[in-house]
Each structure stands twice: as C-alpha cells, then as structure tokens.
Amino acid sequence: KDERAVVRDALIVAHGAHAGQNRRSGEPFVSHPVAVSILLADLSMDRDTVVAGLLHDTVEDTFLRFEDVERRFGPDVRALVEGETK
C-alpha cells in the first residue's frame, strides 16, 4: 500500500474503534488522535509515526489490542503505540 492509503486505513480504524466515545467537552474522542497525527505530519514525521499518532489511544480506550495493531500495521507501529501508551 502507498503511504496515504496506510494513513487512511489507520484513520478508519481509529474512527471505528472510538465510535460513540466523546471527550468531556462533548467532542468526539477521535478528535485528539487526529490532531496528534496532523501535528506529526506537519513536523514531517514518517508514515509509521503518523499512523501511531492516530492509534495511540486505541489500545487503552477501545477493544483493540497491541496484537491487532501489529497485525494490521506492523511491528514498528506497534512499538511506537506501546511507547505512547500510559
């Protein structure tokens, strides 16, 4: 897959995983991971870093697990997500 397709796939996964979740402000929960990934892209980070930005809250706050992230996006993205998980 090309880089944009992988990022788009991560956006779809993040959006689906966070479906129905809202922040205290009432905003959709996924708004934070999207903002993080935009910041990372603006800093010219690589694809895996941008993807990890989109997915970094999924393993804490949704049904997704590290194994799911690795299976879909590879071990490098998993390692980045693990590094960002509280």
Please tell me which residue in 3, 27, 61, 67 is annotated as part of the active site. 61
Q: Is 70 a catalytic residue?
A: no
Catalytic residue among 60, 67, 70, 76: 60
Measured distance CA(60)–CA(13) in Å, rounded = 14
Identify whether 27 is a catalytic site residue: no
Active site residues: 60-61
